[in-house]
Amino acid sequence: MEGTSESDAEVLWDDVVATLEENDLPGATIAMLQSCTPTGLEDETLHVSCSSRFVQRTLGRLAAQLDETATAVAFQPVHVVVEVSRTERAPRQRAAAPEPNPAPAPEPVPERARRRAKNPLVEDVTPTDSLLTFDRFVEGPQNKFAFDAAKQVANGNRNYNPLFIYGKSGLGKTHLLRAIQNYLAQNDPDRACVYRVATDFIDDYSRAMKNARAGAAEALAENYHSIDVLIVDDIQLMSTATGTIGFFYDTFNYLVGHGKQIVLAADRTPSELGMGQSRFDERVTSRLDSGMTVSVQVPDYELKLQLIDAFYERMRADAREQHVPGMDAHISEELRRVMAERAGTNIRVIEGYVQSCLMLAFQRETLGTTITEEDIIGVAEQKWPTGQRRVTVEQIQEVVEHTYGIDHDGLVGGRRNKELMEPRHVAIFLTRELTDNTLADIGKHFGNRTHATVKHSIHVVEQGMRDDRVLQDRIARIRDAVLE
């Protein structure tokens, strides 16, 4: 839209207000709209001046409706910007003659605030997700690096770009990603921060491709390019979507190249994302690993006790504040230590465990008794059955093959290339650890290898776990997958 005179802005604003009057808006809102003065119309933007920040804030809640109405009236896209005038004005009467001495030009709204308001990818944080803050995250040695890196990113540290957090499901990755989003929403709301699970990202791309002729693909790229902070969770779910990976790669390069922040999470390292039949090639995985890559690991006893104590106190406080019955019960410190001893490693399940114990404790208190250690153990056995299935060599091999993206012949065969040696060593090591097989029996399951060869593989892994934190974490995740 070419630059036009102020009278054109007045005519358009009059039509917008008249149209909105027909939509049964509250009288106070109509009065606010009528009190505003249009100051200019250029580059598809209608600037409107108001007399107070209260009016600006109230009309800001109608931003989408104002844009939609102005676009309908003008028969082309129009974005309405409501700005506070430096000098107060009397309410303007519609259709009155223009003032001979217009007020000084209003200060412009920050460009990134305007982009955020116009970007449909930016969504409000839901009440449930708003609870996932840094303050409510339980820090321990197993997640400290990831926790510190997430806080650095939230505070604008550009040295952590991209930030890639990996670890098995249920260890707090999503909590950290949402905490970044929540921090920005509270402390820097003008920044356009978008959180997407990889499946949502795939859906965005697929819908745009179906409507490519209508310009949807270009619009989607423009919206993603307009983001200040892009957060993508469970990115491993994108591994077979070739077209989406290409679009993500282009978006990644654009955002990083323009100083924007990217935060990613997955259940494996960037290099592991490229294994097997994955469509993440080396070009993509090297970009994912080009910034700060940190892991969240399974909690040990001390962290599990911290988590249980934190969940226990938080649930009781929330129950009192929200008047929720059945949760404000008492569990002694001694019993909470028993809970930590019996708990598994999935933090989401631990939280449910604490909730179940609190509810049981409340039931006991209503009957005049208290929760016992036997009660605690009974709840734990429901969450984590002790009668785990017997582990076989074949189960270990299957999990290792899936993790590294190799076939069975590659794992047990005679080839000695680098891509096969590590998974072979790991599988032999875990077979020795998780089964009762002798070294000779293990050798038979791995291509009739000798006793000495099996012993060498075990030594390689033991040495590697002392020196390589990534290998240590990878083996822990494989072990957990075998035992699930």
For residue 130, pLDDT beyond 60 = yes
Question: What's residue 232's pLDDT?
Answer: 97
The whole-model pTM stands at: 0.65
Going by C-beta distance under 8 Å and a sequence separation of 6 or more, which residues neighbour residue 219? 208
Distance between CA atoms of 261 and 158, rounded to whole angstroms? 7
* Residue 146 contacts residue 79 (beta carbons within 8 Å): no
What mean pLDDT is reported for the chain? 85
Most confident of 14-23, 36-45, 320-329, 349-358: 349-358
- Give the full edge-to-edge strand order of the sheet including 37-42: 37-42, 45-50, 79-84
Supply the pLDDT for residue 202: 93
| Alpha-carbon gap, residue 161 to 175, rounded angstroms | 19
Mean of the pLDDT values across residues 144-166? 94
pLDDT at 2: 46
The pLDDT > 70 percentage for the chain reads 90
Which tops the pLDDT comparison, 111 or 203?
203
CA angle 36, 41, 117 (to 5 degrees): 75
Rounded to whole angstroms, how far apart are CA atoms 260 and 225? 9
Q: Once rounded to an integer, what is the mean pLDDT over residues 211-219?
A: 82
Of 123, 160, 130, 132, nearest in space to 145 by CA: 160
Is the pLDDT reported for residue 43 higher than 90?
no
**Mean pLDDT on 258-269:** 94
Q: What is the dihedral of CA 144, 149, 155, 156, to 10 degrees?
A: 170
For the stretch 296-342, pLDDT in tens is 988 889 999 999 999 999 999 888 887 877 778 899 999 999 999 99
**pLDDT for the residue numbered 91:** 45
Q: State whether residue 39 is helix, strand or coil.
A: strand
Q: Is 388 helix (H, G, I), strand (E, B) or coil?
A: coil
Task: Indicate whether 253 pLDDT > 90.
Answer: yes
Q: How far lies 117's CA from each of 21, 33, 112, 269, in Å?
A: 23, 19, 9, 35
369-411: per-residue pLDDT in tens?
999 999 999 999 888 876 555 789 999 999 999 988 899 999 9
| Mean per-residue pLDDT, 257-276 | 92
205 band by pLDDT with thresholds 50, 70 and 90: very high
Which DSSP symbol is given to 104?
P
Judge whether residue 471 has pLDDT over 60.
Answer: yes
Q: Is the pLDDT of residue 238 over 80?
A: yes
What pLDDT does 14 receive? 86
Q: Output the CA angle 186-187-193, nearest 5 degrees.
A: 75
Q: What kind and span of H or E run contains 384?
A: none
Q: What pLDDT was estimated at residue 414?
A: 86
Nearest of 103, 101, 117, 28 to residue 66 by alpha carbon: 117
Q: For 353-370, what is each residue's pLDDT tens digit?
A: 999 999 999 999 999 999
Token pair in block for residue 217: 């693909």
Strand order across the beta sheet in which 229-233 lies: 193-197, 229-233, 261-266, 163-166, 292-295
Residues making up the chain, counted from first to last = 484
Report pLDDT for 36: 86
Indicate if the pLDDT at residue 438 is higher than 60: yes
Q: Does the pLDDT value for residue 212 go beyond 80?
A: no
Name the phi and psi angles at 441, rounded to 5.
-65, -40
Backbone φ and ψ of 15, nearest 5°: -65, -35
pLDDT attached to residue 110: 59
Backbone φ, ψ for residue 132 (5° rounding): -85, 80
Which of 13-27, 185-199, 282-296 bottoms out in mean pLDDT, i.e. has the lowest?
A: 13-27
Q: Is the pLDDT of residue 4 over 70?
A: no
Q: What mean pLDDT is predicted for residues 195-206?
A: 92
More confident residue, 126 or 295: 295
Per-residue model confidence as pLDDT tens digits over 71-128: 888 888 888 888 887 554 444 444 444 444 554 555 455 565 665 667 888 888 888 8
